[in-house]
C-alpha cells in the first residue's frame, strides 16, 4: 500500500525533474542501519530476505566492507534517474554517507513533506491548466457550433430565395442545351396530344440516350436562372450542373 501511494505521488510529479524530489530512507524491520546496494538485483534480493538469519549476516558483511553504502533511517536521498522495476538508484544528500549512491527498494522510501508540498503544487497547477484547456475546448466547440448554425441558416435563406425545379413526379426532365430544350418541348407537346404511351417513351428514351435530356429531382434549387421565352437556363445548386428547363417546370419566388 505504501509503495502504491509513493508511486502515485511520483506520478503526479511527472512534470518535475526526478532530482527535485527528496525521499527519506527507512530500514527493513529489525535493522538499525541498511545499505544502498551496488546492483539493482542485489537491492531487490536484500529487501526480500532482510528477515532471514543467514542473509542478515551476508548483508551486514557487505555494509561493513563498504560494498553497500551505509545509511540510517531518516537520511535523505534524491533519485539519480535510473530504475529497475521496484528498485531505484539514489544518492544521499543528507545524513550518514552524503554523496554515496546505490540501489534501494522503493518500499524503503518516503517522500519528504517538502517534496509532497511541491508535488501538490504541481498537481494543483496541472488541475488549473486542465480546467483552462477544457474551458477553452468548450468555448471553441460552442463557437464552431454557432458558426455552423449561422452558416446553415444563411444557406437555407439563400436556398429559399432561389427558383425551384418542379414537376408532376419526383424526377423532372431537363435538357442539356438550348437546342435540346426545343426537342424536349416538342416531345412534351407530343405526349400531351397523343398520351404518354410507348411512342412518347421512345422519344424520351432517345433524348436521354443521345445525352440531350437528363432527369433532376423535383425541388432542385436553381442558381443563375435566366428565362428566354419558354426556356430557363440554370445551374443546379450544389452539383453545379448546367441545364435548360421548360419554363412550366420552374417555380419562381
User: How far is Cα 34 from Cα 247, in angstroms, rounded to an integer?
Assistant: 100
Do residues 105 and 6 share a domain? yes
pLDDT of the residue at 63: 94
User: Which three cell numbers, joined as nine digits, stand for 136?
Assistant: 477553452
Q: Is residue 136 part of a domain?
A: no
**Would you say 101 and 36 are in contact if contact means Cβ atoms under 8 Å apart?**
yes
pLDDT of the residue at 20: 79
User: How far is Cα 94 from Cα 81, in angstroms, rounded to an integer?
Assistant: 18
User: How far is Cα 239 from Cα 218, in angstroms, rounded to an integer?
Assistant: 14
pLDDT of the residue at 177: 96
What is the CB neighbour count within 10 angstroms for residue 234? 25
Judged by DSSP in three states, 164 sits in: strand
What is the CB neighbour count within 10 angstroms for residue 249? 19
Which residues in 184-221 are b (16+ Cβ under 10 Å) and which e? bbebbeebeeeeeeeebeebbeebeeeebbbebebebb
As averages over each run of 10 residues, the pLDDT of the chain (253 residues) reads 46 54 94 96 95 89 94 95 94 94 96 92 92 95 96 96 94 96 95 93 95 96 96 96 96 89
pLDDT of the residue at 19: 61
Do residues 88 and 9 share a domain? yes
Secondary structure E strands in the chain: 22-25, 34-36, 69-71, 76-84, 87-94, 101-105, 109-111, 164-165, 171-175, 213-217, 222-228, 231-236, 242-246, 250-251
Q: Is residue 141 part of a domain?
A: no
User: How far is Cα 93 from Cα 98, in angstroms, rounded to an integer?
Assistant: 5
Q: Which of 117, 136, 153 is the last residue in one of the domains?
A: 117
pLDDT of the residue at 33: 95
CA distances to 172, 191, 220 from 182, in Å: 16, 14, 21
Q: Is residue 212 part of a domain?
A: yes
Number of domains in the chain: 2
Q: Is residue 172 part of a domain?
A: yes
Residue span of the structural domain in which 62 resides: 2-117
Judged by DSSP in three states, 69 sits in: strand
Do residues 10 and 112 share a domain? yes
User: How far is Cα 41 from Cα 145, in angstroms, rounded to an integer?
Assistant: 58
Q: Which of 117, 146, 180 is the last residue in one of the domains?
A: 117
- Which pTM value belongs to this model? 0.54
Q: Is residue 139 part of a domain?
A: no
Do residues 18 and 104 share a domain? yes
Amino acid at each position: 500500500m505504501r509503495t502504491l501511494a509513493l508511486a502515485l505521488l511520483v506520478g503526479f510529479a511527472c512534470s518535475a525533474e526526478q532530482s527535485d524530489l527528496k525521499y527519506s530512507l527507512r530500514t527493513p524491520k529489525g535493522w538499525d542501519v541498511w545499505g544502498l546496494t551496488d546492483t539493482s538485483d542485489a537491492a531487490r534480493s536484500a529487501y526480500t530476505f532482510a528477515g532471514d538469519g543467514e542473509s542478515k549476516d551476508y548483508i551486514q558483511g557487505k555494509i561493513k566492507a563498504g560494498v553497500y553504502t551505509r545509511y540510517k533511517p531518516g537520511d535523505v536521498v534524491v533519485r539519480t534517474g535510473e530504475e529497475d522495476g521496484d528498485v531505484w538508484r539514489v544518492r544521499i544528500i543528507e545524513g550518514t554517507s552524503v554523496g554515496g549512491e546505490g540501489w534501494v527498494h522503493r518500499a524503503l522510501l518516503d517522500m519528504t513533506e517538502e517534496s509532497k508540498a511541491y508535488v501538490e503544487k504541481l498537481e494543483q497547477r496541472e488541475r488549473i491548466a486542465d480546467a483552462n484547456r477544457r474551458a477553452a475546448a468548450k468555448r471553441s466547440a460552442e463557437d464552431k457550433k454557432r458558426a455552423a448554425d449561422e452558416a446553415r441558416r444563411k444557406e437555407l435563406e439563400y436556398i429559399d430565395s432561389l427558383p425551384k425545379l418542379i414537376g408532376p413526379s419526383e424526377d423532372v426532365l431537363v435538357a442539356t442545351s438550348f437546342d435540346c430544350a426545343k426537342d424536349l418541348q416538342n416531345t412534351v407537346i407530343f405526349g400531351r396530344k397523343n398520351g404518354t404511351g410507348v411512342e412518347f417513351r421512345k422519344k424520351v428514351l432517345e433524348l436521354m440516350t443521345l445525352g440531350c435530356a437528363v432527369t433532376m429531382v423535383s425541388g432542385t434549387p436553381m442558381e443563375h436562372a435566366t428565362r428566354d421565352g419558354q426556356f430557363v437556363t440554370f445551374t443546379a445548386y450544389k452539383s453545379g450542373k448546367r441545364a435548360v428547363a421548360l419554363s412550366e417546370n420552374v417555380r419562381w419566388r
